[in-house]
Amino acid sequence: MDTNNKDVDRGEDQNQNQDNRDEVTGISKTSNVSKISSPKSTIEIDADKSTFFTATKHDSSFLMVDGNDAKSTMPASQPSEVLSCGLMSWKEEIPSKIDFESKTNTNQRSLLAQNVTDRLDSIGSEMSLGFEVPTDLDATNPQSLVIRDGPDLYQTILRTVCAYAIRCSHGRMPVQKLKNHSGYWLPFAYANEDEKYSKTIDMIIEYFLSETKPTPTSKDSNKAAKPKDSSAKFLTNLQLYNIHRAQIPDGQFVSRYIFLAQWIGSDSKFTCCKDNASIRWLSLAEVMGSKKISDTFWGNEIQMTASVLNELHLNKIPSAKFPNISEFTSSEVLKYTTNTSAVSAPNRPTTANQTMIMLCDAKFNEKDVIKVYCEYVQHCYPSANMTYCAFTEYINKMDFLPNDENIIRSVYRAMSPSWRNRNFMFFNEFLLGLAALDSSNNSQLRCGYIFRYYDRNSDNFLDEEDFKRIVYDIRDASMMSTDPAAVQKDCQTRLSQLNLMDDKKRITYQNFIREATSSRLAGIGQLFRANRPVIETIHSRHLYEYIFNKNGKPFAPKLLGTCPKCRPKSYSLAYNAVKLSNQGRIEESRPLVQMNCGEIDVELQFKKKTNEIRVKHSTEVVFNENSAANQVLSIIRRMVDFNKLPHERKTEVAQYVINKLTVDLIIQLCKEVTEILLIEPRVVKVNSPCIVLGDLHGNINDLLTYERQLWPLAPTANAPNILFLGDYVDRGDYSIEVISYLFAMKILAPTKFFLLRGNHEIRSIQRNFTFARECMVKYLYQNGQRVLEEFNQAFDHLPLVGIIDESIFCAHGGIPYSVSKIEDLYKIPLPLPEPEIQSKVAWEILWSDPVTDEEFNQVCQFKNQSTDSGFVDNLRRSTGYYFAEKASRNFLKANNLSHIIRAHELETDGYRFRHSGLLITVFSSSRYCNTNNKSAAVFVNSHSNNEGFIKVIALET
């Protein structure tokens, strides 16, 4: 589709392809054991689910870093969504980029991945990494942090992990034997929140040194000291591949990073491909193709990374973009909990939620579901999912099944219906599988499990031999004769009485379910049963901890108040004292320790160890006048009250600003902001109080006026959060200055300033309006092209949606047509250089407009369309959709939201209410394109946990 006419803009009538989903209630085959059954559940697993954490508000820290590509369970092809574990900065020098990058400079994602790994320290975040590191751990000894796993205090298991997928020149990769488990996983090390992630490389290298270094001779005994730069001798081409976050029931979450690297072995004393008790070197072909070997893997991450390493080894461009980011949140766990009475007869849902029925019939309550999740996440970690190896170990420890490999493997396949496409199961598959195994569960939904259990070749049919095994197991469980003749006779009798076989002498899934649920297949309920009550055994065995938060309830949010139990317990002094000018600007900042201001116990008050990263960010970035962001703010603030200046003075100031905003300064600014945006989610969660602003379109005078009116103490002491809805560039004369200011604020206060993408933050639109031309005029052609691309590479990482207080949907254009759930928005690709091509959903969010019901009906009549969705083609823009009040109400109801705030349209007063007040349009650029419009903002605040208000603020500019 041509992009030449796009701002009143253009349109594309596209339906979003639904994501492939996996059935939850599957089963396969096996020999004599009681087996499982349940027809196909309406609840399906989304292999790319990636949702943001919603349960807990964490203490303020310096930075919130959340990623999109953040889902969720972690599938074979990881989604990108959200992480929060601090902006990263890597002090150590990293060797050259991975081979294929030097040949494919256009692969922007890979270059950005390299950028991230070039700056990879941990920095505390507002969404914190989870918990304090137990004080009994020896943080000074790298070996004490390497390869710790197994049933222990959950805080020693569930800690930040850095894993390394390493390939050597022979096309092999090392895997590590877990100390307290039976399987292998990627070499990994635990990382503390207050230390550089790069330190984990030294831990890994130290481990490889101890395993691969030849035994020193007496001649070498004096040379046993660790090499100063051991990492340089072994690993190169380091890239961040995957970030996964799992929320745990204490309300916090734990992060896991996977890096790709190449083993270079430049020192001849240290060689690759040497197996030992802990390390095993496997060829990439074996990892990807050998089922026998894959059965020993603790997580699917080995095969997932092997595929990428193999592509790199063959000098191919990887088929999947990385780094990818995923999450699994409390909402994903709690959606399986239910009130037993809510689904009891006669009020049982018929089709809406068979998962709830299964759990209800198994008598699994909320506490039971959370206990299973505690077991699952602690047992599988650092893997995000459960492989056959992990499943076998857990089942054997619980003694749920006979210690028979055929039985266990069949149950595993039955509980993970898509095992042929992926060799792991998700949490909900594990949960429902345990519910189906439980002896108290008589749900008819179990019949599907039983079918798949006996389907030996997983072709969705049973043959006569499969049915004979069913009859054998029924007779065995009923203590009847299992003599072959008796079994054969019983089998033939049942087949003659039941309508099971099709014309090809096969039992179809539908026929089996029909006969089994009609009770005509006598004895079927005895199959697929655990040896003992499932949930009682899990609670009594205490294999892993049941995790609570400080309020005593799993996943409950922290309460902030005045009572002794819930008020904040720990405060410390800020490191800097600031002096404000008459205009409310920070004039000077000095560390308290350098001031004569009384008695201060430095060790007690500043909590140096836990806050040193934040202190470092404050001293090196926020309060450092020479940091790129502060330089940019200082330069652009010369344009305050710009419209009041005489024409000649305006020209002088504008030229001064551009002369000072050098190409190098802009490149540095874009690099720093991209590193933050790279790990923000596609949907950012923002707390109130919050100020929301609409289109700015290069209006620097208005923007600096808003600074004085709305955030005068920013970036160091700003109270409300500030959310911008996009369209920062084009049409106005000072787009470069506007976006440079916003990027600087985002760097200095990343948890206070949030920038969404608008439809003008797209290259093709800018070429047809003014931003591209502005860059060429102000920086001349060659530098102008560079500046334009630097800004756009940052735009490619801007999030698309903001949610305020889990209640208010904020976006540039409107709600999407192709999907109805917020969770689906986390799957939007990152980066997004071509949103029209890469994501229909993103395109709809950027371009759609609300209309009245009358306008909607007129468009439908004009196009001779009839629709119940509330969406119709957007005629004015020739792209995107119009959406009526019905569409808004359906979207808000589906996501448990109350209002929509959007921009995208010029409003004379700067704002307009639509859809019975459920939707607000805000426009924040006054005198837009020489019109007389006013500008406005929206202020969102909450009085308590249950009440809040939305106030429109008219802005005088």
Q: pLDDT tens digits, residue range 48-93?
A: 322 222 233 333 222 222 333 333 333 333 333 322 232 232 323 3
User: Do the beta carbons of residue 910 and residue 934 sit within 8 Å?
Assistant: yes
The answer to which of 6-20, 149-163, 263-277, 622-636 has the lowest mean pLDDT is: 6-20
Q: Give the number of other CB atoms < 10 A from CB of residue 871.
A: 24
pLDDT, average across residues 625-631: 86
Q: Decide if 401 contacts 408 (C-beta within 8 A).
A: yes
C-beta of residue 823 within 8 angstroms of C-beta of residue 816 = no
Q: What mean pLDDT do residues 396-405 have?
A: 90
Q: What is the pLDDT of residue 48?
A: 31
10 Å Cβ neighbour count for 179? 11
Q: Return the pLDDT at 9.
A: 45
d(CA 685, CA 12): 29
What is the DSSP-derived secondary structure letter of residue 937? E
| Residue 798 near residue 670 (C-beta atoms within 8 A) | no
Token pair listed for 726: 């996009």
The tens digit of pLDDT for each residue in 867-891 reads: 889 999 998 898 999 999 999 999 9
pLDDT tens column, 308-327: 998 887 888 777 777 888 88
Alpha helices in 381-444 (DSSP H): 388-398, 405-415, 427-437
pLDDT bucket at 617, cuts 50 / 70 / 90: low
- Residue 587 in tokens: 């004039």
| Arithmetic mean of pLDDT over the chain | 75
Q: What confidence category does residue 600 fall into, taking pLDDT thresholds of 50, 70 and 90? A: low
User: How much is the average pLDDT of 160-164?
Assistant: 89
Contact 415, 26 (CB under 8 A): yes
Amino acid at 289: G
| pLDDT (tens digit per residue) in 240-255 | 898 898 888 877 878 8
pLDDT at 87: 26
Q: Which domains can be identified in the chain, with CATH numbers?
A: 41-51+340-541 (1.10.238.10), 99-211+230-328 (3.90.79.10), 575-623 (no CATH), 624-955 (3.60.21.10)
Question: For residue 189, is pLDDT > 80?
Answer: yes
pLDDT at 38: 28
**Contact (Cβ atoms closer than 8 angstroms) between residue 396 and residue 403:** yes
Give 100 or 636, the one with higher predicted confidence.
636
The Cα angle at residue 624 between residues 618 and 628, in degrees rounded to 5: 105
**b/e 588-600 (16+ beta carbons within 10 angstroms → b):** ebeebeeeeeeee
CB–CB of 531/399 below 8 Å?
yes
Q: Give the pLDDT confidence of 818-872 residue by residue, as tens digits.
A: 999 998 998 898 899 999 999 999 999 999 999 999 999 999 988 888 888 999 9
pTM over 0.85: no
More confident call, 531 vs 133: 531
- Most trustworthy range by pLDDT among 117-121, 685-689, 716-720: 685-689
**What's the pLDDT band for 955 if we cut at 50, 70, 90?**
confident
Token code pair at residue 197: 């992630």
State how far the Cα of 227 lies from the Cα of 266, in Å rounded to an integer. 13
What is the pLDDT averaged over residues 708-725? 86
Q: Return the pLDDT at 372.
A: 93
Mean pLDDT of 447-456: 90
Residue 436 has pLDDT above 80, yes or no: yes
Which of 806 and 101 is assigned the larger pLDDT? 806
DSSP-assigned states of every residue in 650-683: HHHHHHHHHHHS-HHHHHHHHHHHHHHHTTS-SE
Contacts of 446 (CB under 8 A, 6+ apart): 36, 37, 38, 436, 525, 528
Output DSSP code: residue 317: P
- Cα(273)–Cα(394) distance, rounded to whole angstroms? 31
pLDDT of res. 925: 95
State residue 881's pLDDT score: 93
CB 318 within 8 A of CB 311: yes
Query: What is the rounded CA–CA span in Å between residue 716 and residue 738?
Result: 20
Q: pLDDT digit string (tens) for 892-920? A: 999 999 999 999 999 999 999 999 999 99
3-state secondary structure 685-729: EECCCEEEECECCCCHHHHHHHHHHHCCCCCCCCCCEEEECCCCC
Nearby residues of 508 by Cβ (< 8 Å), 6 or more positions away:
460, 461, 502
CB-CB contact of 726 with 663 (8 Å): no
| pLDDT above 90 for 128 | no
Across the range 454-475, mean pLDDT stands at 90
Q: Helix, strand or coil for residue 388?
A: helix
Rounded to a whole number of angstroms, the CA Rg of the chain reads: 30
Q: How far apart are CA 152 and CA 692, in angstroms?
A: 46
* Stronger pLDDT, 192 or 457, i.e. the higher one: 457
Spatial CA neighbour of 166 closest among 294, 281, 292, 315:
281
List active site positions. Answer: 760
Question: What tokens appear for 325 in the block?
Answer: 């980011």
Lowest mean pLDDT among 317-326, 585-594, 631-640: 585-594
In three-state secondary structure terms, 736 is helix
Provide DSSP, 857-884: HHHHHHHT---SSSEEE-TTTSSSEEE-
